[in-house]
Structure 1
């Protein structure tokens, strides 16, 4: 399955707690769309959130965000993992 990294920008910053809540909502919603959120990273001061997700396509990943909490990604990139 393709892997994607999405980027959210929240004006004014974001708290770790708020992102954890949104991630929990993603996990509760993902199965209906054949999506699997793997990890996320937060830069609270900059209001940046990065999500790593396996999904059939970028739109499926964004659909989970939309349905779970409404915070769709500003950018989504298809990525491959390298060690």
Structure 2
């Protein structure tokens, strides 16, 4: 299991309430893919969403977003959760 940070770029900005609703959908779908969405951060004005996730691989993390709400990340990075 790896740890990943995914990044979404939403042109025109994004509402924190919309991101919270999408996150709830991720949580409902994640078990099917062996994924654990841990936390997210939002910059509403800039339209940036950052999701911290434990997943077997980046494809599994993306599959959860795709199934849950269709908002697949623009970028996904493997990260070290230490430090």
Q: TM-score, normalised by structure 2?
A: 0.98
How far is 1:32 from its partner?
Answer: 0.2
How far is 1:65 from its partner?
Answer: 0.1
Q: TM-score, normalised by structure 1?
A: 0.98
| Gaps in structure 1 of 5+ consecutive residues | none
- In the comparison of the two structures, how many residue pairs are matched? 83
* Dislocated runs of 4+, deviation >4 Å: none
Structure 2 matches for 1:16-31, cutoff 5 A?
16-31=16-31
Partner of 1:5: 5
| Gaps in structure 2 of 5+ consecutive residues | none
How much is the aligned-residue C-alpha RMSD, in angstroms? Answer: 0.5
